[in-house]
Amino acid sequence: MYRPVPAAAVTIVREVRRRARWRVRHRLGPGDVGSLTALHGVLYAREYGYDRTFEAYVAAGLAEFVRRFRPDRDRLWLAEAGGRVVGSIAIVGRARKSAQLRWFLVDPAHRGRGLGTRLMRAALRFCRDRGYRRVLLWTTSELEEASRLYVRFGFVRTAVKTHTVWGKRVTEERYDLDLRGGA
């Protein structure tokens, strides 16, 4: 006798399968920079109304990162699911034992399930292993959930500036983390 599977059970199975397929890697391959740039451009346009100049900003920064890549100081992690990039985080080494966290993003379909936390842990572990003393990042005030994650990991907001960029009025926020305190 045929018994239909409840819709809730199908949703749970799909969710478990989707989560189980996450793969996080740090070796860049062909098309990765383009995929990551496109993901940023599309999501920030849809979620925050940023124009095409934001995508160009991301593309320029990623291109520079790849050109100057130093494996002992820099790292870019990509999260994949179903053969496509669904998240990222990067560490770019700076002067005087400091690093900058960049391109932290999780696709909306994969948010709220620990992927952002996993990426953040990997990035901060890399910083500690490399002897960085301080990590800084810039974000915008619209990214409230990301800001809560930064604070949870010990980052402190240290600067705020509002200006017109990416086709709109944006308030950028700088966060810093002192790694010497064991945070």
Q: Phi/psi at 102 (nearest 5 deg)?
A: -140, 165
Question: What pLDDT is recorded for position 65?
Answer: 96
86-119 pLDDT tens trace: 999 999 999 889 999 999 999 999 999 999 999 9
Question: Is 12 inside a domain boundary?
Answer: no
State which residues form the domain around 132. Answer: 22-181
Quick check: is 43 in a domain? yes
SS3 1: coil
Nearest-angstrom CA–CA distance, 99 and 136: 6
The stretch 56-71 carries a mean pLDDT of 96
Domain count, the chain: 1
Give the per-residue SS3 of 70-107: CCCCCEEEEEEECCEEEEEEEEEECCCCEEEEEEEEEC
For residue 183, pLDDT over 60 is answered with no
The amino acid at 170: V
| Non-local CB neighbours of 51 within 8 Å, separated by 6+ positions | 45, 166, 167, 168
What would the mean pLDDT of 17-32 be, rounded to a whole number?
80
Question: In the predicted model, is pLDDT for residue 181 greater than 90?
Answer: no
> Is residue 151 over pLDDT 50?
yes
Give the residue-averaged pLDDT of 172-180. Answer: 96
Q: Please state, rounded to an integer, the average pLDDT across all residues of the chain.
A: 90
Pair 85, 22: CB distance under 8 Å: no
Q: Is residue 8 part of a domain?
A: no
Residue 116 lies in a domain: yes
Average pLDDT in the 29-45 region? 95
Q: What is the mean pLDDT of residues 105-134?
A: 95
Question: pTM value?
Answer: 0.86
CATH of the domain at 37: 3.40.630.30
The pLDDT of residue 8:
65
The answer to the question of residue 6 being in a domain is no
Q: Does residue 1 fall inside a structural domain?
A: no
Is residue 40 domain-resident? yes
Let me know if residue 16 belongs to a domain. Answer: no
